[in-house]
Amino acid sequence: MPPSKKPYSRVKYDWSPENIALLGTISDAAVAERMGGKASTVMFKRQELGIKAYKAPVSHIKGKKRPNFNWTEEALSLIGTMTDAEVAKRLGLSNGAVSLKRRSLGIPGRSVKHPAIDIPDNLRPYLGVWSDAAIARKIGVSVGVVSRQRRQNQIKATTDPNFFPDEGIPRLGKVSDSDLAREYKVAPQTVNNQRRKRGIPKFKPEPAKLPDSCKDLLGKVSDVELGKRANLSARAISIMRKEAGIPPYDRGAGSLDLTNLPDFAVPLLGKLPDPEIAKKVGCNRKKVANIRVAAGIAPCARWR
pLDDT, tens digit (0-9, with 9 covering 90-100), for 45-101? 888 888 888 876 544 444 444 557 788 888 888 888 888 888 888 888 888 888 888
Burial 175-197 (b: 16+ CB within 10 A, else e): eebeebbeebebeeebbbebbee
- In this structure, the answer to whether residues 236 and 290 fall within a common structural domain is no
Q: What is the mean pLDDT of residues 255-262?
A: 65
Going by pLDDT thresholds of 50, 70 and 90, the confidence category of residue 161 is low
- Number of domains present in the structure of the chain: 5
- In this structure, the answer to whether residues 240 and 266 fall within a common structural domain is no
- In this structure, the answer to whether residues 28 and 91 fall within a common structural domain is no
Q: Is 110 inside a domain boundary?
A: no
Q: Is 251 inside a domain boundary?
A: no
Tell me what pLDDT residue 61 has. 44
Instruction: Look at residues 161, 202, 199 and name the one whose alpha carbon lies nearest to residue 180.
Output: 202
Question: Do the beta carbons of residue 218 and residue 226 sit within 8 Å?
Answer: yes
Over the stretch 178-215, which tens digit does the pLDDT of each residue have?
888 888 777 788 888 889 988 999 888 777 788 888 88
Tell me what pLDDT residue 40 has. 85
Tell me what pLDDT residue 262 has. 79
- In this structure, the answer to whether residues 136 and 79 fall within a common structural domain is no
Distance CA 127, CA 123 (A): 7
Q: Is 113 inside a domain boundary?
A: no
- In this structure, the answer to whether residues 39 and 100 fall within a common structural domain is no
Distance CA 2, CA 233 (A): 39
- In this structure, the answer to whether residues 149 and 191 fall within a common structural domain is yes
Tell me what pLDDT residue 113 has. 62
Enter the DSSP assignment of 172.
B
128-137, 186-195, 266-275: range with lowest mean pLDDT: 128-137
- In this structure, the answer to whether residues 172 and 232 fall within a common structural domain is no
Domain that residue 239 falls in: 212-244
Taking each helix axis as running N to C, give the angle between helix 177-184 and helix 188-197, from 0 to 180 degrees, rounded to the nearest 10: 120
